[in-house]
Amino acid sequence: PDAHIHTSFPRGPDQLFCSVSNGPYIMNTTANGNDSKKFKGDMRGLGASSRVLHIRRLPSDITETEVIGLGLPFGDVTNLLMLKAKNQAFLEMSTEEAAQNMVGYYSTVLPIIRNQPIHVQFSNHKELKTDNSPNQERAQAALRALSSSHVDSVVSAPSTVLRVVVENLVCPVTMDTLCQVFSKFGTVLRIIVFTKNSQFQALLQYSDGQSAQAAKVLLDGQNLYNGCCTLRISFSKLTTLDIKYNNERSRDFTRPDLPSGESMPPMEHPAMAAAFSKPRPLCLHLSTEFPSFSM
């Protein structure tokens, strides 16, 4: 089986997909509708605030890259201390606010790595000091590589527009499905879904390049549903999406006044049509996979 980081998604039919709003699409993972970068939750009982986080109950085969990936969507990771013998790690974020957002988010959306629930809490340490042991050298090397890529993406992300191809299309995938998943990493402004070369595809525009870069790195190669609907993501050459209609195939969340246009055409992709006409138990819920950050 694939080794992924997981989170829990709502299971009720009314909770599975976020409703389309009149503003930019932001995933609602809590009743307050806060996303992972802007989470302002109740910090009571989570310990004294610190930019150093204590991560417990990690799988024995956890990688440095996976641990860093837990923090990177919330901000820059400045240090990492791996305690593999204890199945623990300490992660230092660049700011206390980033650490607060991370703890608040994961207190609501529990991260699970290879079926193992992970606990994230504030550490008593105010900063991390690491030695030059082989284990820590590997951690620092991964940290330098990933943080460098993350910083570079903030300055010069290739595009805010992503091209998404869904392979092994067994379950029905809709525009709302993609919005729910991709809005974990930033504000989705516009989206178009279509079929090309017998493949279900989408063009999706973020409000900033950093969000697009994070989504590409974290979601590329992951499954939308358990065992199927694999995402293949690349940067588009487009700099913006020109949306003329708000309907099942396209939406501009910054332009709620756009007309709906013609009704949705018949399903062009045979797998998509079959998925809608013949429900399968496998397709009842979104995959609980939350991707690891990998190079």
Q: Do 161-290 and 34-156 have the same topology in CATH?
A: yes
203 by DSSP, 3-state: which?
strand
* Residue 271 pLDDT greater than 60, yes or no: no
Could you tell me which of 182, 166, 158 has the C-alpha nearest to residue 237?
158
Give the domain ranges of the chain. 34-156, 161-290
Give the pLDDT confidence of 72-101 residue by residue, as tens digits.
878 889 999 999 999 999 999 999 999 998
Q: Which CATH superfamily is domain 161-290 in?
A: RRM (RNA recognition motif) domain (3.30.70.330)
CA distance 266 to 25: 26
265 falls in which pLDDT band (50, 70, 90)?
A: low
Q: Say whether pTM exceeds 0.85.
A: no
Average pLDDT, the chain: 73
Rounded average pLDDT over 245-259: 94
Query: Could you say which architecture CATH assigns to the domain 34-156?
Result: 2-Layer Sandwich (3.30)
